[in-house]
Amino acid sequence: MRRFFALGAVLLLLATSATAAKIKFDIKHVEPLSWWVGMNTPLQLMINGDNISAFDVDITPKGQGVEVRAVHRADSPNYLFVDVAIADDAVAGRYKLCFTNGRHTYEYDYDIADREEGSRYRKSFTTADFVYLIMPDRFANGDPSNDSTDDTVEKVDRKKPGRRHGGDIQGIIDHLDYIADLGATAIWSTPLLLDDENGASYHGYSCSDYYRIDPRYGSNELFKSYVDECHKRDLKVIMDIVPNHSSTSHWWYDDQPFKDWTHQWDSYTQSNWTFSTNMDFNASKSDLYQMESGWFDRTMADMNLDNPYLLNYFKQWAIWWIEYSGLDGFRVDTYPYNEKMPMSEWCKAVMEEYPNFNIVGEVWTSSIPQLAYWQGGNNNKDGFNSHLKSIMDFPLHDAIRAAMAEGGDKGGWGSGMIRIYDVLSHDFVYHDLSNMMIMAGNHDTDRIGDVVEGDVRRMKIVAALLCTMRGMPQMLYGDELMFRSSDRSKGHPTLRIDFPGGWEGDEVSYFEESGRVGDAKDVYDYTRHLMNWRKSKDVIHNGRTLHFVDRDNTYAYFRYNDEEIVFVYVNNSAVERTIPWERYAEIAADIQVGTDVVSGEAVVMQGCKVAPASALIVEFKR
């Protein structure tokens, strides 16, 4: 009887083991979510699951050009990093990751697709583009059903400036025709990835999942559709990304793969914000370390890009989103706060995968030499090359805003329009003027409508400058309508106002021509005209600049090439000015009559007068 019982137990155990050998294993995360044949970037999977480090990994079917090359274990037993080799002639399809610990085998489906034709050589944003910046939560609510979701903490409350208001991807899609008609050719949206903080999560800069669109905005699939819809309208899409920090609500935060995955301190330590330590020969190592490794905020864990697995993770993550959704560019938040050598390697990896791709970095400094340091190819004394193609021109941003605040009688020696002249006189410092993003405001600065105190005339000057100066112009949503903060004293949430007409029940819609009246219509019509005029003007996209110094709160400059000349005269003073045309003889001696870009009328330049607080734009054929 005992022998029979023992034999039965053995048979039952074997049967149980045979059944268990093919059951599904509860893998929590495999990232990247998928991959492609023909990529330049090697694939390293990050796999997360309870005690997954006890397993070995293989991939089937065999003989199709896909194989596991190495398996790396982390500090946490709940992670594996798996190097997967994909031959150039590998067979696309669904593969199985096979996990075994000697007794059990578990399987996980993983897709490797054929790469879309021409993907490697996709075009990106250039000086020919005008970038329209959107905060999706504040732009339009196209799907009220996702305003609050069961799997996210913060719920919608449109009555409070710092809370979720319900704008989403569908809202952007619904109004793409408005953006295209305005004359924009590219859209930069603040981050759309999951931000699951319990307050102010609408801004998106505290990422909780790098591979998931926030469900209050939509889904990965909807984001891909959004990119497709943009491309149908000749609109490029720039994705805002944040490798410097993640949210403390990120799924990995409480169980990080490695002890140095994020920067750890004995007590909360904030960055010292002094990114000059990156190029300052006199800076202490401790100051540099705190700048790079200190946290941006208590809910923003500072990522350690010196960890090679994390750096690989971010390379693949960026490339996955480009390939998956068809992106046209990146804007990188808080760029200098990352470790500079790993970020240089990151930029280089993206550019090697997509040679024509453009990445613009937020380098928020008023120092021109410090800004120039971060643009790839700059002749830095320490030999550093960031490989970052484009930079945001904050010195010019500051000068435009200061000049507009010093209109009329406020201008004088060293103030008013001479500020813009002075900034552009330093253009010799920059490596590549064409790859500089220029702006008069963004989602983090006071509304330019507030800076000019609602003065329509000076708001038009801002539009004239953005549409005619060197570089790639960017405008914050609503500035074409002279939006102003709902309460300037309360900071960021109130400058990030809802776009009227983006919500059901709004009393007026600025998306519709009938809703645009008064000053809003005046500024809109002027801005729209110039933005659409700029689209076809190579002399603006790629022409040279010649400018003239004056200290009477005016500014004169020419954009020119072999075929065309565009003359811009800004009178920011309180009195009418007569253009001193003979003063510009070195370029204008042979041109006396041009065409007013705004009115379309002929302009005789000799003796031409310009009203106070206005800009004149005249084009000439050579």
- What whole-number distance in Å separates Cα of residue 112 and Cα of residue 88? 12
Q: Shortest CA distance to 334 belongs to which of 230, 202, 245?
A: 245
* DSSP character at residue 24: B
The pLDDT, as a whole number, for residue 599 is 98
Can you tell me the mean pLDDT for 364-381?
97
Whether residue 591 has pLDDT greater than 80? yes
The pLDDT, as a whole number, for residue 21 is 43
Q: Where are the beta strands (DSSP E) in 74-202?
A: 79-86, 93-100, 105-114, 131-134, 186-189, 193-194
- What whole-number distance in Å separates Cα of residue 493 and Cα of residue 161? 5
Whether residue 3 has pLDDT greater than 60? no
The pLDDT, as a whole number, for residue 66 is 98
Residue 399 · residue 462 · CB < 8 Å: no
- What whole-number distance in Å separates Cα of residue 232 and Cα of residue 5? 72
Question: Residue 152's CB: how many other CB atoms inside 10 A?
Answer: 20
Can you tell me the mean pLDDT for 117-122?
97
Can you tell me the mean pLDDT for 295-310?
97
Whether residue 346 has pLDDT greater than 70? yes
- What whole-number distance in Å separates Cα of residue 616 and Cα of residue 398? 22
3 state SS of 475: strand
The pLDDT, as a whole number, for residue 104 is 86
Task: Map tokens 């801004």 to a residue.
Answer: 203
210-251 per-position pLDDT tens digit: 999 999 999 999 999 999 999 999 999 999 999 999 999 999
Residue 494 · residue 487 · CB < 8 Å: yes
3 state SS of 438: strand
- What whole-number distance in Å separates Cα of residue 390 and Cα of residue 434? 8
Whether residue 319 has pLDDT greater than 90? yes
* DSSP character at residue 158: T
3 state SS of 277: helix
218: left (phi over 0), alpha (psi -120 to 50) or beta: left
Can you tell me the mean pLDDT for 165-188?
98
The pLDDT, as a whole number, for residue 16 is 38
To which CATH superfamily is domain 21-115 assigned? Immunoglobulins (2.60.40.10)
Residue 588 · residue 460 · CB < 8 Å: no
The pLDDT, as a whole number, for residue 347 is 98
Task: Kindly report the average pLDDT of the chain as a whole number.
Answer: 95
Whether residue 575 has pLDDT greater than 70? yes
- What whole-number distance in Å separates Cα of residue 560 and Cα of residue 548? 14
396-428 per-position pLDDT tens digit: 999 999 999 999 877 777 899 999 999 999 999
Whether residue 14 has pLDDT greater than 70? no
Residue 249 · residue 197 · CB < 8 Å: yes
437-457 per-position pLDDT tens digit: 999 999 999 999 999 999 999
Can you tell me the mean pLDDT for 479-488?
96
Whether residue 539 has pLDDT greater than 80? yes
Q: Shortest CA distance to 317 belongs to which of 353, 288, 360?
A: 353
Helices (H), 414-491: 418-424, 448-451, 456-468
Q: Where are the beta strands (DSSP E) in 214-255?
A: 236-241, 245-247
The pLDDT, as a whole number, for residue 24 is 52
The pLDDT, as a whole number, for residue 1 is 40
Q: Shortest CA distance to 387 belongs to which of 431, 349, 359, 347?
A: 347
Residue 356 phi/psi, 5-degree rounding, is -95, 5
The pLDDT, as a whole number, for residue 336 is 97
Confidence of residue 9 (pLDDT cuts 50, 70, 90): very low
Whether residue 2 has pLDDT greater than 90? no
Residues taking part in catalysis: 333, 362
The pLDDT, as a whole number, for residue 542 is 98
- Its pTM stands at 0.95
Whether residue 188 has pLDDT greater than 60? yes
The pLDDT, as a whole number, for residue 19 is 41
CATH number of 544-621: 2.60.40.1180
To which CATH superfamily is domain 130-541 assigned? Glycosidases (3.20.20.80)
**Structural tokens at position 127:** 């000086």
**Rg of the chain on CA atoms, in Å:** 28
Report domain extents, the chain.
21-115, 130-541, 544-621
The pLDDT, as a whole number, for residue 409 is 79
The pLDDT, as a whole number, for residue 7 is 37
- What whole-number distance in Å separates Cα of residue 92 and Cα of residue 66? 9
Tell me whether domains 21-115 and 544-621 share a fold: yes
55-95 per-position pLDDT tens digit: 999 999 999 999 999 999 999 999 999 999 999 999 999 99
The pLDDT, as a whole number, for residue 413 is 79
Whether residue 15 has pLDDT greater than 70? no
The CA-to-CA distance between both ends of the chain, in Å, stands at: 109
The pLDDT, as a whole number, for residue 447 is 97
243-275 per-position pLDDT tens digit: 999 999 999 999 999 999 999 999 999 999 999
Q: Shortest CA distance to 420 belongs to which of 602, 549, 525?
A: 549
Q: Shortest CA distance to 443 belongs to which of 391, 401, 368, 494?
A: 494
Percent of the chain at pLDDT exceeding 90: 93
The pLDDT, as a whole number, for residue 379 is 96
Helices (H), 332-469: 340-353, 368-373, 394-405, 418-424, 448-451, 456-468
The pLDDT, as a whole number, for residue 102 is 86
Q: Shortest CA distance to 154 belongs to which of 142, 167, 165?
A: 165
Confidence of residue 25 (pLDDT cuts 50, 70, 90): low
The pLDDT, as a whole number, for residue 18 is 40
Whether residue 11 has pLDDT greater than 50? no
